[in-house]
Structures are given as structure tokens and as C-alpha cells.
Structure 1
């Protein structure tokens, strides 16, 4: 079963987040059993050549690749999909109109506005435009006050497959002094988002710091969750090893 179909059926899925252009690491991560790898083209340290190399490595390792694109437009979304992503996560969506624009960018004409040129993606999904439309997951991020206030309308956007919470930006938008700090209304905001997605039959995802946090979120109404990132886990593991050596300053 393809990733998009599993997402639409609201299966519980666990993914891993990658912010560095390291295809060797991608290939190793791809073989671990995560339901998807997400390459971060918005805040990650990945240019297009690095992204393409990681896409090839994800295929070699047998994993589904998803991309968090830099912005909500035809060029960024189209290039991410042409390289082989089976889904895109679109940041900073504030309205149903912006969600509809993301869907439009993910689908070929006459449904949408994606330009046809699947030189690589056609190897995995197939060159048929209708098959490609069905195989691609369009997910939009809810991480602003605008997106939160419009969540019910966003979730009713035709062709949208899921919503995804960016907890750091959402917490800041609600008045937190820094990401991770407690802020009034955050839990209620998450409940509103998961309820709106469930009512619309959409997948609902969230970014998590750890596997244990992902398990908690998946048990509380989210249907998919991305864990940490390659860079943060590398730093945590290196710090733990240094501490075990008794050499941490």
C-alpha cells in the first residue's frame, strides 16, 4: 500500500526527520523501519543537489521519502515531487485558500497546476498523471494563529490529505517565550486541530522531540508523527558518550 493511501486511511505512522544533506546517513536511516523519512527543505541544511542525492539513497534503503518544502508555490512543490517525494509538507498555511493552493501545486492539470516532467519520480510512481495525483500526499502545516483559527475550514479543503502541527511556531504564536516552554492554550489548540482533522477524515501529524513523545501524541489523537532530526540526535548521542567518558565540561 502506498504512503498516501495509508495516510488517508489514518493509519498510525512514525517518521524520521532529516535536516542534513547526508545520503549515506539517509540510506542507513531508510533501512530502520520508519514509515517515512522527511527531508527538511525549509529549515534544513539541504540544497537541491543534496536533496536529490538523499532521495536516491532513500530509495536504495527502501524507505518512503517526504519533503517539507520551503514555501507554498508551484516551483518548490513541483521540484520536490519531481525528485521522488511521495508527499509534501507545506509550511505556514493560514487559510483554506492557501491550503487549496498547496493541493493545486501537487496535482496535474486539469485538477491542478503541477507541470509535467517526472524524469525521476516517474521511475517509482509511474508517468501517468492520474496515477501520480493519487499517489502524492498533500499535507499542510498548522503553526500560526491564522492557521489555528481557520483549522476547520482548512480541513475541509478538497484534495487535502493531512494537516501537520509545527509545535515550536505554534507555541510562539500563542505567546510562549521560547519553543518548548509551557503556554496557556497550547493543549487546547492541539485538541482543536486533532478534532477538526478527525471530523474531516484527514490525517493529523506533529513534530516530536523523541520516540516517547511521538508515542504519546499518537495515543492522543494524532495519526502520524515525525521524530527528532538526524542532527539533534547526533548531538544528543555524542553528548551522552562524552558524559559517559567523564569528560564533559
Structure 2
């Protein structure tokens, strides 16, 4: 039996637009709820949410029955953590703060088994192989792994064209919050100067045959990114969805005479 088909990667290759959401609670029960919402993809955030490998694994398990595809953002682009999330069953990995083609090439190698890569061959007892029941996993896993890299500062933007030439990168995700801050517009990713850089980056990513992605946390920003051509677009963060709706509900009824 080969590795499961990565439907998210296939959809990106087909040019489909995919709408997603960020998950920052680091709780499998919340992931299970989010998996019923109808998003095409959901990010399990290992960078800024209080996750570890066990909570990442548990959220992958919670989403197993969901049509929403789990994307695991690792905290850092290191081989050891990429190996762990892949063995836990992730097929799509998002790596933050990628600044060079050399770094991107090493990330591709981390996602692949030897001789093309450096991923450790210890999957027989892992969730990725369904505990040894996927007999052809090692032979077929590489082609089903989807690697997304985040370009989110001036160094990454400067190296974007070289990063886009790296074979094995499926998509490039622009991080507006980090990028705007690095450009001197702290907390203002909507600044015209930042929007211009984002629009140019998304266009270059698409022109290079890669999938362009981004996160919008307001309707205005999300619509703007959509019009710029974002293909895999996150439209919210679960913590903010709860917080904003809870505050609005409270204010609505407390204001009643």
C-alpha cells in the first residue's frame, strides 16, 4: 500500500483556490470542531501557539475524519522537527522565515528520504505508516509531501526569485505581519508600501509556477489578497474568531435597556 494521496498538494498543482484558517488553541477538541467548519485547509501552528509534538499529533488525529487538510507549521526550519511532524502523519509542512535558496534546498532535503534527502528512515512504528500497515510508505512518501515556505522579511523578499527556482517547493506563503514589521510598519500590514511588496511577491510566485499563499485577519485585507491572486488563503485565526464573536455577543446584550 502506498502513502496516502495528498489532496491539498494535488489541488495546488491544479490551480484550485483553497480557503483555510489558522488554529492557535493547540487543543485537539478545538481542531475537531474546526474540522467541521468546511475549510479546505487548517494550520496547526507550532510556531506561535503552545504546541509540542504530542499536541500536534493529537490535532492530526482529531482532523483525520475531516475533509479539511491539516497543514503543520513547524516552529523553525530544522530537520529534526520536520522529521517528527512527518512521522506523526503530517503531509503538508509550512516553514517560517525562509530567507535564501540554500535554506529552501535544505528544507526540501529534510522532507525527502535518502538518497535525495536527509529524512530519517524510522517510520515503521509511526502514525505516518499507520504503524507499519502502509508497506510502501518509504518508497512513495516523498511525492506526497507538500512543502510550503514562508517569506516574511526583507531578506526573504530580496531572495524570492532564487527561492522560487528551488525544485521541491510547492508554495510560498507571504507573512504580512512579520514583513510589515521588518519594513518599519509595526502592526500595519495594510500600509501602501507593504501592500505593494505583497502584491509583487504574490505575482512573482504565481509566475514561477508555485502556489502563492497568505493570511488575512480582516475582511478588507482578505479581499485585497484575493484580488492580488492568492491561491491558498487563510481567512482567520480560531482564537480571534472566538474572542471577537464573544466580545460582540457580550456587548450586544449588555447594551440592551
TM (norm. structure 1) is: 0.92
Whether the aligned pair in 2 keeps the contact of 1:89 and 1:139 (CA below 8 Å) is yes
CA 181–53 in structure 1, closer or farther in 2 if over 3 Å, else same: closer
In the superposition, the TM-score normalised over structure 2's length comes to 0.89
Which of 16, 26, 30 is 2:31 aligned to? 26
Q: Is residue 144 of structure 1 aligned with residue 162 of structure 2?
A: no
> Which range is displaced more, 189-198 or 208-217?
208-217
Q: Secondary structure at 2:64's aligned position in 1?
A: helix
What is residue 4 of structure 1 aligned with on the other side?
Answer: 9
Partner of 1:123: 130
Q: Is 1:50 the equivalent of 2:55?
A: yes
Shift of 1:74: 0.7
Q: Secondary structure at the match of 1:21?
A: coil
- Tell me the distance in 2 between the aligned counterparts of 1:211 and 1:182: 12
Deviation at 1:215, TM superposition (A): 4.3
Cα drift, residue 87 of structure 1: 0.7
Shift of 1:184: 4.9
TM-superposed CA distance for 1:240, in Å, is 0.6
Asked if the contact 2:176–2:189 (Cα under 8 Å) also holds between the matched residues in 1, the reply is no
Aligned position for 2:143: 134
**Bigger shift: residues 237-246 or 206-215:** 206-215
- Cα 1:141–1:181, aligned 2, differ >3 Å: closer, same or farther? closer
Tell me whether 1:165 sits opposite 2:198 in the alignment: no
What does the per-residue CA deviation read over 1:139-164, in whole Å, with 9 as the maximum and x for residues that have no partner? 11010111001111111111111100
Aligned-pair CA distance for 1:227:
2.3
| SS of aligned partner of 2:107 | helix
Structure 2 match to 1:60 = 65
| Structure 2: tracts of 5 or more residues without a match | none
Q: 2:249 and 2:208 mapped to 1: Cα distance? A: 46
Q: What's the CA shift string for 1:74-120, capped at 9, x where partnerless?
A: 11111111111121111111111111111111111111111123311
Is 1:84 equivalent to 2:89 in the alignment?
Answer: yes
Tell me the matched-pair count.
247
Match of 1:224 in 2: 232
Which piece of structure 1 moves more, 42-51 or 135-144? 42-51
Match of 1:242 among 234, 245, 250: 250
Q: Which moved more, 1:205-214 or 1:71-80?
A: 205-214
Q: Say what the alpha-carbon RMSD is for the aligned residues.
A: 2.1
Deviation at 1:234, TM superposition (A): 0.9
